[in-house]
Amino acid sequence: MKSNLFILKLKKFFKRNAYSIAVGTCAVFALFAITLAAVISTTTTKDVGSESGNLPIETVTPTAVIFSSPIEGADITKEFANDKLLEDKTTGYWQTHSGIDIAASAGTSVLAVFDGTVTAVEKTMMEGAVITISHTNNLVSVYKCLSENNIEVAIGDSVKKGEKIGEVGESLKEKADGAHLHFEVHEDGKPINPTIYLENDDK
Ligand SMILES: [Zn+2]
């Protein structure tokens, strides 16, 4: 009889509080649904995002910098060498080579390899005319052994990728190599192998 009384009391309780119980149950279900949705959405973001976290793909894609050739269709005749010595035909000494040499006859157009700003135009005794251009990503391109008489840019000029900046000339420093462009790329102030950024033509 005692249990019957308990059930009766329970029934009464539910009748009196039916509204509150209904609202409460709904609230619990809603909270559960929201939590479930949140868990699913974070899992989905992780799948799409990078391995390092939940960053969207767009923000982790680096700026693509690809240089065009400073001389159209010409071959590299002397490679970059900062950790080994190459024979310098002019001096006979074995030395490092802080850029690449691209053979081309005097008067051949020299082109900016990427959009940038001209930061130096020098006329040197040993290396002929030298033009320096600053680019994005702390990259700098340097064009040596140019003709002093056909410089087409000045300090502060904005240049576009492929724009003519001067012509191949002569230099005393690498005279024995014949007419060529000595081309350097500096990254964070240090010379690096220019072929890393040069477009691969696969001639
Ligand atoms: Zn050189």
Instruction: Find the 92 Cα to ligand 1 centroid distance in Å.
Output: 14
Write down the pLDDT at residue 85.
Answer: 92
Instruction: Find the 180 Cα to ligand 1 centroid distance in Å.
Output: 8
Instruction: Find the 129 Cα to ligand 1 centroid distance in Å.
Output: 14
Mean pLDDT check: name the lowest of 8-12, 76-80, 148-152. Answer: 8-12
Listed in sequence order, the residues at least 6 apart from 22 whose beta carbon sits closer than 8 Å to its beta carbon are: none
* Mean pLDDT computed over 72-98: 91
Instruction: Find the 120 Cα to ligand 1 centroid distance in Å.
Output: 19
Instruction: Find the 3 Cα to ligand 1 centroid distance in Å.
Output: 102
Instruction: Find the 143 Cα to ligand 1 centroid distance in Å.
Output: 10
Looking at residue 76, its amino acid is: I
* Domains of the chain by start residue, with CATH: 2-60 (no CATH), 76-196 (2.70.70.10)
Instruction: Find the 117 Cα to ligand 1 centroid distance in Å.
Output: 23
Listed in sequence order, the residues at least 6 apart from 79 whose beta carbon sits closer than 8 Å to its beta carbon are: 86, 97, 100
Instruction: Find the 15 Cα to ligand 1 centroid distance in Å.
Output: 95
Write down the pLDDT at residue 174.
Answer: 87
pLDDT at 186 over 80: yes
Looking at residue 4, its amino acid is: N
For residue 42, how many other CB atoms are within 10 A of its CB?
11
Instruction: Find the 147 Cα to ligand 1 centroid distance in Å.
Output: 15
Q: What is the pLDDT of residues 134-183, one digit of tens each?
A: 999 999 999 999 999 999 999 999 999 999 999 999 888 888 888 999 99
* Mean pLDDT computed over 50-72: 68
**180 touches 171 (CB < 8 A):** no
Instruction: Find the 88 Cα to ligand 1 centroid distance in Å.
Output: 9
Listed in sequence order, the residues at least 6 apart from 86 whose beta carbon sits closer than 8 Å to its beta carbon are: 78, 79, 94, 95, 96, 97
Please state the pTM of the whole predicted model.
0.68
Q: Report how far residue 11's alpha carbon sits from residue 55's, in angstroms, rounded to the nearest whole number.
A: 54
